Amino acid sequence: MPTALITGATSGLGAAFARRLAADGFSLVLVSRDEQRLSESADQLKLRYGVAAEVLAADLATEEGLARVESRVAGGVDLLVNNAGFGHPGRFLEVPVEDEVRMLKVHCEAVLRLTLAALPGMRERDRGAIVNVASVAAFFPRGTYSASKAWVVNFSESAASDVGNPRIKIMALCPGFVRTEFHERASMDVSGIPGFLWLKADDVVRETMRDLALGKRVSVPDLRYKAIVAIGRLVPRGLQARVSSSIGR
């Protein structure tokens, strides 16, 4: 039975990935900071899908937590989903530097180290897949969040090219607004976001798995966001920044 490790697995996209992969017959390794919530999620998945679900409580913003997950990934996984992440409610100059560095630790360093930990085993087995969750924000200039997600996209494409093995897939996932706890946790006001721009987590995961099977290196789920990204590439960067700043992340 293949094994999937998912970071940020107890809510939002992480929980949706866990449900989908359990339904597909994967054994799961669920990673999150909240041990109680992890255990509850694992019990529910075991009961509903009859799969093994291991829990690993760890904070990827700390060296100890990241090293623990890194060690587990190096022990062998068939699918790695680097999903853990968070946002800040304020603009760049309003956020304490230690909070910005913590974001870079989770969004960039953790993705880098866990990807590198997974690849030796995947290359030895000649198969495997890695999904690095970025964001549509990666294509628009908007503070450290979008900058970190742009790094995830570039890194994923570069890693896939360097590995050069179609049986080892590395893909950046770039969703738009998804109905999850993400914005509430970051104390972000999303009341001004039009209803038609919101996506369901399960729909995003379904499109992600399809794009992964097709060998895509960047996945932008939903035609609405594909159009937004395509149009954004035609708009001067200065205008992009002004628009992005006015409407938020």
pLDDT tens-digit readout, 141-189: 778 999 999 999 999 999 999 999 999 999 999 999 887 555 455 445 5
The mean pLDDT value for 98-118 works out to 97
| Sign for the pseudo-dihedral over CA of 28, 33, 34, 36 | positive
pLDDT at 193: 66
> Has residue 125 got a pLDDT over 60?
yes
Question: Could you tell me which residues are beta bridge partners of residue 79?
Answer: 4, 129
Percent of the chain with pLDDT over 70: 87
pLDDT at 20 over 80: yes
Give the type of residue at 34: D
Encoded tokens for 80: 């790695």
Q: What is the mean pLDDT of the chain?
A: 89
Q: CA 84, CA 93: separation in Å to the nearest integer?
A: 24
Residue pair 232/224 in contact (Cβ under 8 Å)? The answer is no
Q: For 25-68, how does the pLDDT look when each residue is reduced to its tens digit (9 = 90+)?
A: 999 999 999 999 999 999 999 999 999 999 999 999 999 999 99
Q: Which fold has domain 3-247?
A: Rossmann fold (3.40.50)
Active site residues: 145
- Cα separation, 43 vs 39, whole angstroms: 6
Longest dimension (CA), the chain: 52
Please determine, for residue 221, whether its predicted confidence score (pLDDT) is greater than 70.
yes
Residue 135 phi, psi dihedral angles, 5° rounding: -175, 155
Overall average pLDDT of the 77-92 stretch: 89
Q: Which range, of 87-91, 96-100, 120-124, 166-170, averages the lowest pLDDT? A: 87-91
The whole-angstrom separation of Cα 18 and Cα 5 is: 9
What local confidence, expressed as pLDDT, does residue 249 receive? 44
